[in-house]
């Protein structure tokens, strides 16, 4: 046999029989592809700042308007936590494929992809989510998980906190089309079309069908339609309809007034498809399986009383509660908690008849199960008394075991504690408390608003030992105060400071903190502090300056800071001409003349219920003030602000009430054109290229409305997002009140194919091609108005009419030609000579 035949035979055996291809998981492939394509879509492309000068201001402004519209995503530094992002007033979101949190301005919509994502909105701003004709808005101070079904295009929203509104803008229910659903423990609500709102209220999900049709599916398999205007609550596997005017016993039962205020918990982090008897393994999240035995050594049989907290370890020794949920009891007697994001965790298990159990740290991998053996112990009662510095009992002090606190550092203010399973006891009129604790060593901390916190000695708790004589003495509260000023000595208002108390030499290092803000005089004060060693600092600054001090009981220490100027505070109130507040509206400051997408040139914020807005650390300069109602769908300039180089500037703005509205049609198909871009330009005369004022997208019916427009003359330009239609302009538009709305019709655009060659017939690559219309405006038809390697340039969507086409290349004399463009394709050839 020849060598070639031997090789062939061996290959047939090795590749044909032995080789086993490596198979990718379909979910992994789909998820990575979605992430890949989403990233591709956000590539910066050509820097607008380097656009050739022959672009007119109109073109540049249209591009700038588009830049405002597109999701201006910026990747937060790796060190930004969710809390830091929310603290800046922005939306925090992350793909469940990766752990890093990203940051986004609240007034800018967040595009959905096939990838599951978590989204959290800050306290004062919501965020829009959009895909095609489906629209959702997550309320401020909300947390949701969003993902697409593996086998369909359905989108599920698992709302953990806050509220959401979803809207399907189809005229009627569309069978077998992708749906949007709100998913909860007890069932799910599927929106067939119309508008649905949902809000987490205690342990229930409150739902209201505002319009259209929707269906409720319960875990029991029962399903039913909701009536328009109907409201109800999903909880405990039931849906209780809200009957106006009638006191519902079931509703009252759901509202459990006896639950302690700190137990503001929504059961979450259970399997993502409630009602399914077997826990479906999600390849992107982990499942915790707990084999739990009671103090008698027997396996725990009931699941109703067990609660599990997952404490995400951020960086040692810090950790925080990432979720509290009731696990599901499996047929084999174990308890399972699915849908946990990958990471390192402490796990707390609570069962009322037993002491709190904590284990870990455990590393939870995506798509994997982690089995943990949990041996619950009977809890031991520890009781004692809390007294004030004079030795008198204190009523209403709250006592916790620092060993069982799930949060690090620990807030000194009860309202700042995150949800926890650990017990909190309150002292009675005699100053006495009682806590159920696990075996081991504990240090108890008592706090009361009028005094500084106090700690017990280290307690060793074990079976057979009774501890009922713990005495915790609250101390005289000390005070740290001071002033923050700029380098020129002027006061600095609105600076956040933290006073952090660190205790060493204990069972474990514990940190407690108290936060405050400087007033108009740049002064701050923090009172009620226990004695000890403190660090005082201003968070979030680049050059962190930390000052250390020792505080005696009842002591008073002054700590001042001098900061370099990093930008002014710009604040004010937005109102309508009638004085009504323009509430919950996105606002943005854009540096005048900025056409790049650099973060420093654009600042976003949100007006509150009273129309008040605030920007922090704005560099000096001239800024255009935009309002962005409709979660960024509409962009409208309403004024100018000159930001000086000092601390703060207050500017109240009256938003005009006049409007310009109209409709854009597809002139070829004779139907309304959805998602067309409509640009509003203020003009002083027919030759004026116009000053950009606003931009909006048409809705599904092709309608648009600029809601807050000054009394002025405008040019309205409608542009189809696809390049196959020409654009349309309406001149000298005045804000209308009762007149008919504007009608803009976009007809078939022509294709102009331009070829540029030299005298020898060789193509000239990189030649500039520009189109000027009848009015004298240069209109760009592609991002690079240059010929390619074949000397060709293609312009799509050219409006039929008279155009002047100019070609210029370095080293050649430019040429111009007048064109009469009609529908179809026009080929134009230029032969340039030197």
Nearer to another protein, 24 or 507 (CB): 24
Distance CA 768, CA 809 (A): 6
User: Could you tell me the smallest distance in angstroms from the CB atom of residue 32 to another protein?
Assistant: 6
C-alpha closest to that of 481 among 532, 522, 513? 522
Which residues on adjacent β-strands are paired with residue 763? 757
Distance CA 662, CA 494 (A): 44
| Per-residue x/- track, 356-375, another protein (CB under 8 A) | ---------xx---------
Chain centre distance of CA 582: 22
Is 35 a residue that touches another protein (CB under 8 A)? yes
User: Could you tell me the smallest distance in angstroms from the CB atom of residue 6 to another protein?
Assistant: 6
Is 490 a residue that touches another protein (CB under 8 A)? no
Does the CA dihedral 670-673-676-679 come out positive or negative? positive
Secondary structure of the chain: what % helix, strand, coil (to 5)?
Answer: 10, 45, 45
Give me the numbers of helices (H) and strands (E) for the chain, helices first please.
5, 64
Q: Which of 26, 41, 264, 460 binds another protein (CB under 8 A)?
A: 41
Nearer to another protein, 2 or 564 (CB): 2
Q: Which of 26, 37, 450, 775 binds another protein (CB under 8 A)?
A: 37
**Options 17-25, 322-330, 568-576, 745-753: segment touching another protein (CB under 8 A):** 17-25
Residue whose token pair is 């509104």:
165
Helical (H) or strand (E) element with 85? helix 82-87
Please say whether the beta carbons of 533 and 467 come within 8 A.
Answer: no
Sequence-distant (≥ 6) Cβ neighbours of residue 578 within 8 angstroms: 657
C-alpha closest to that of 605 among 91, 13, 21, 41? 91
Distance CA 11, CA 22 (A): 18
Residue whose token pair is 């309403």:
638
Kindly report the number of other CB atoms within 10 A of residue 194's CB atom. Answer: 20
Is 722 a residue that touches another protein (CB under 8 A)? no
Site residues (CB under 8 A) for another protein, limited to 424-483: none
**Options 1-9, 459-467, 475-483, 702-710: segment touching another protein (CB under 8 A):** 1-9
Counting residues that bind another protein (by CB under 8 A) gives: 38
Helical (H) or strand (E) element with 607? none
Which conformational region is residue 718 in: left (phi greater than 0), alpha (psi within -120 to 50 degrees), or beta?
beta
Please say whether the beta carbons of 795 and 825 come within 8 A.
Answer: no
Number of residues written out for the chain: 834
User: Could you tell me the smallest distance in angstroms from the CB atom of residue 17 to another protein?
Assistant: 7
- Phi first, then psi: what are they for 278, rounded to 5°? -95, 140
Is 36 a residue that touches another protein (CB under 8 A)? yes
User: Could you tell me the smallest distance in angstroms from the CB atom of residue 783 to another protein?
Assistant: 7
Is 20 a residue that touches another protein (CB under 8 A)? yes
Nearer to another protein, 686 or 766 (CB): 766
Please say whether the beta carbons of 214 and 189 come within 8 A.
Answer: yes
User: Could you tell me the smallest distance in angstroms from the CB atom of residue 363 to another protein?
Assistant: 11
Pairing status of strand 286-293 against strand 369-375: parallel
Site residues (CB under 8 A) for another protein, limited to 767-806: 783
User: Could you tell me the smallest distance in angstroms from the CB atom of residue 735 to another protein?
Assistant: 36
Does the CA dihedral 55-57-62-67 come out positive or negative? positive
Nearer to another protein, 28 or 565 (CB): 28
Which residues on adjacent β-strands are paired with residue 483? 523
Nearer to another protein, 366 or 409 (CB): 366
Please say whether the beta carbons of 224 and 216 come within 8 A.
Answer: yes
User: Could you tell me the smallest distance in angstroms from the CB atom of residue 100 to another protein?
Assistant: 11
User: Could you tell me the smallest distance in angstroms from the CB atom of residue 23 to another protein?
Assistant: 9
Distance CA 106, CA 604 (A): 8
**Options 27-35, 57-65, 271-279, 638-646: segment touching another protein (CB under 8 A):** 27-35
Q: Which of 13, 174, 276, 775 binds another protein (CB under 8 A)?
A: 13
User: Could you tell me the smallest distance in angstroms from the CB atom of residue 50 to another protein?
Assistant: 14
Sequence-distant (≥ 6) Cβ neighbours of residue 291 within 8 angstroms: 299, 333, 334, 335, 371, 372, 373, 374
Is 724 a residue that touches another protein (CB under 8 A)? no
Is 28 a residue that touches another protein (CB under 8 A)? yes
Nearer to another protein, 26 or 686 (CB): 26
**Options 16-24, 224-232, 375-383, 679-687: segment touching another protein (CB under 8 A):** 16-24
Is 78 a residue that touches another protein (CB under 8 A)? no
Nearer to another protein, 2 or 833 (CB): 2
Is 21 a residue that touches another protein (CB under 8 A)? yes
Is 827 a residue that touches another protein (CB under 8 A)? no
Which conformational region is residue 506 in: left (phi greater than 0), alpha (psi within -120 to 50 degrees), or beta?
beta
Nearer to another protein, 8 or 253 (CB): 8
Is 16 a residue that touches another protein (CB under 8 A)? yes
**Is 60 in a helix, a strand, or coil?**
helix
Is 97 a residue that touches another protein (CB under 8 A)? yes
Q: What is the CA radius of gyration of the chain?
A: 32
Name the strands in the sheet holding 328-329, side by side, starting at the edge strand that comes first in the sequence.
Answer: 328-329, 335-340, 286-293, 369-375
User: Could you tell me the smallest distance in angstroms from the CB atom of residue 62 to another protein?
Assistant: 17
Nearer to another protein, 6 or 520 (CB): 6
Nearer to another protein, 26 or 577 (CB): 26
Distance CA 434, CA 426 (A): 8
Is 19 a residue that touches another protein (CB under 8 A)? yes
**Options 24-32, 143-151, 644-652, 766-774: segment touching another protein (CB under 8 A):** 24-32
**Options 41-49, 171-179, 495-503, 514-522: segment touching another protein (CB under 8 A):** 41-49
Is 3 a residue that touches another protein (CB under 8 A)? yes
Q: Which residues bind another protein (CB under 8 A)?
A: 1, 3, 6-22, 24-25, 28-29, 32-33, 35-37, 39-41, 43, 45, 97-98, 365-366, 783
């Amino acid at each position: 046999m020849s060598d070639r035949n031997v090789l062939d035979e061996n290959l047939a055996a090795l590749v044909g029989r032995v080789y086993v291809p490596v198979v990718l998981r379909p979910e992994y492939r789909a998820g990575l592809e979605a992430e890949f394509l989403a990233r591709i879509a956000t590539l910066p492309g050509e820097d607008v700042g380097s656009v050739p000068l022959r672009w007119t201001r109109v073109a540049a402004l249209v591009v700038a308007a588009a830049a405002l519209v597109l999701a201006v995503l910026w990747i937060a530094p790796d060190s930004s936590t969710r809390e830091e992002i929310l603290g800046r007033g922005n939306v925090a979101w992350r793909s469940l494929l990766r752990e890093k949190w990203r940051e986004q301005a609240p007034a800018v919509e967040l595009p959905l992809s096939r990838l599951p994502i978590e989204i959290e909105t800050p306290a004062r701003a919501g965020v829009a989510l959009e895909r095609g004709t489906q629209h959702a808005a997550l309320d401020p101070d909300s947390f949701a998980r969003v993902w697409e079904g593996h086998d369909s295009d359905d989108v599920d929203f698992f709302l953990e906190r806050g509220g959401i509104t979803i809207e399907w803008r189809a005229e009627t229910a569309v069978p077998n089309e992708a749906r949007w659903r709100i998913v909860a423990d007890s069932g799910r609500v599927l929106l067939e079309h119309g508008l649905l709102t949902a809000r987490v209220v205690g342990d229930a999900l409150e739902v209201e069908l505002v319009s259209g049709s929707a269906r409720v599916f319960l875990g029991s398999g029962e399903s039913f339609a909701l009536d328009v205007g109907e409201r109800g609550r999903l909880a405990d596997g039931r849906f209780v309809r809200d009957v106006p005017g009638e006191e519902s016993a079931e509703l009252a039962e759901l509202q459990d007034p006896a639950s302690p205020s700190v137990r503001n918990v929504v059961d979450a982090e259970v399997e993502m498809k409630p009602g399914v008897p077997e826990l479906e393994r999600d390849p992107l999240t982990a499942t915790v399986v707990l084999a739990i035995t009671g103090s008698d050594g027997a396996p725990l049989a009931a699941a109703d009383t067990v609660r599990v907290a997952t404490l995400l370890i951020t960086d040692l020794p810090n950790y925080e509660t990432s979720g509290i949920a009731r696990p599901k009891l499996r047929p084999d007697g174990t308890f399972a908690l699915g849908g946990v994001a990958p990471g390192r965790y402490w796990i707390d298990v609570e069962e009322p008849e037993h002491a709190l159990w904590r284990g870990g740290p455990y590393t939870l991998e995506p798509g994997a199960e982690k089995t943990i053996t949990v041996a619950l112990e009977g809890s031991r009662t520890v009781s004692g008394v809390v007294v004030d510095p004079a030795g008198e009992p204190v009523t209403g002090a709250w006592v916790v075991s620092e060993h069982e606190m799930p949060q690090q550092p620990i807030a000194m203010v009860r309202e700042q504690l995150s949800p926890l399973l650990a017990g909190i006891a309150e002292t009675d009129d005699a100053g006495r408390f009682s806590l159920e604790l696990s075996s081991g060593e504990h240090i108890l901390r008592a706090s009361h608003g009028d005094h500084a916190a106090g700690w017990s000695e280290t307690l060793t708790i074990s079976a057979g030992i009774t501890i009922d004589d713990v005495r915790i003495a609250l101390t005289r509260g000390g005070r740290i105060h001071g002033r923050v000023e700029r380098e020129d000595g002027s006061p600095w208002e609105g600076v956040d400071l933290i006073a952090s108390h660190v205790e060493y030499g204990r069972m474990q290092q514990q940190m407690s903190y108290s936060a405050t803000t400087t007033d108009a005089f740049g002064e701050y004060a923090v009172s009620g502090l226990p004695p000890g060693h403190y660090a005082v600092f201003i968070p979030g600054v680049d050059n962190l300056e930390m000052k250390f001090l020792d505080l005696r009981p009842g002591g008073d220490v002054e700590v001042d800071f001098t900061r370099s100027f990093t930008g002014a505070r710009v604040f004010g109130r937005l109102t309508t001409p009638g004085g009504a507040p323009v509430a919950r509206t996105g606002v943005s400051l854009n540096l005048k003349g900025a056409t790049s997408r650099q973060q420093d040139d654009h600042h976003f914020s949100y007006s509150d219920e009273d129309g008040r807005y605030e920007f922090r650390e704005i560099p000096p300069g001239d800024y255009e003030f935009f309002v962005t109602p409709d979660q960024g769908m509409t962009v409208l300039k309403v004024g100018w602000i000159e930001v000086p180089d000092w601390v703060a500037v207050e500017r109240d703005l009256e938003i005009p009430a006049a409007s310009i509205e109209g409709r854009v049609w597809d002139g070829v198909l004779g139907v309304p054109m959805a998602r067309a871009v409509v640009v509003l330009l203020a003009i002083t005369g027919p030759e004026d290229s116009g000053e950009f004022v606003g931009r909006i997208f048409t809705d599904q019916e092709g309608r648009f409305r600029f809601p807050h427009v000054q009394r002025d003359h405008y040019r309205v330009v409608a542009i189809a997002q696809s390049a196959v239609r020409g654009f349309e302009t309406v001149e000298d538009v005045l804000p209308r009140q009762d007149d008919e709305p504007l009608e803009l019709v976009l007809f078939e655009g022509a294709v102009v194919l331009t070829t540029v060659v030299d005298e020898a017939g060789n193509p000239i690559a990189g030649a500039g091609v520009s189109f000027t219309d009848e009015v004298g405006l240069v209109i760009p038809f592609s991002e690079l108005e240059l010929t390619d390697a074949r000397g060709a340039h293609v312009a799509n969507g050219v409006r039929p009419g008279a155009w002047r086409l100019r070609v210029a290349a370095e080293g050649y004399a430019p040429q111009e030609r007048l064109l009469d463009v009609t529908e179809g394709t026009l080929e134009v050839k230029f032969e340039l000579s030197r």
